[in-house]
Amino acid sequence: MSSGDEGLLTLTIKMRVSPEPILFEKLVNLMRRYREGLNYAIRVVVENNALSLGKAHKLLYNILKERYGLPSKVAQDCYREAIAIAKSWLGNPNRGRVPGAKTPRLWLTHGYSYRVRDGYVEILGGFRLRIIGWDM
């Protein structure tokens, strides 16, 4: 029986980018705000058992946009990542303390949060970064 996704692959790519000096601090600031918002979102998702996108959206979307200053799609990506982390942690029978993000990071959705064009990656929020390498 066919499930409809034979032959499809999921690929994670890390891009090495070279931000312009003017944008560097703004980008690092966005990544730090994302990390803080992600840690908040993980706590809220676990405490409220908000493992669906609808519940998480109602609880977190406006807070992530207003308190943490995340662009709209980045806020959605943030609570999506929080749900993924919470589901993984809740499914672990030997779980310890609630997980959290330690390093600045961004989870982005291609076509919505970022796009690759002419050797640059453009991130929602006005960031245009030159690609200097790829890792798979």
Q: What is the DSSP string of 43-81?
A: HHHHHHT--SHHHHHHHHHHHHHHTS---HHHHHHHHHH
Low-confidence winner among 12-26, 42-56, 63-77, 110-124 (lowest mean pLDDT): 12-26
> CB burial class (10 A; 0-12, 13-18, 19+) of residue 123?
buried
pTM for the model stands at: 0.84
Report the C-alpha gap between 119 and 135 in whole angstroms.
15
- Whether 102 shows a pLDDT value over 80: the answer reads yes
Query: What does each C-alpha distance from 66 to 2, 70, 71, 86, 96 come to in angstroms?
Result: 44, 7, 9, 23, 31
Structure confidence at residue 10 as a pLDDT band (50, 70, 90): confident
For residue range 41-57, list pLDDT tens digits in order.
999 999 999 999 999 99
Higher pLDDT, 40 or 121: 40
User: Taking all residues of the chain, what is their mean pLDDT, rounded to a whole number?
Assistant: 89
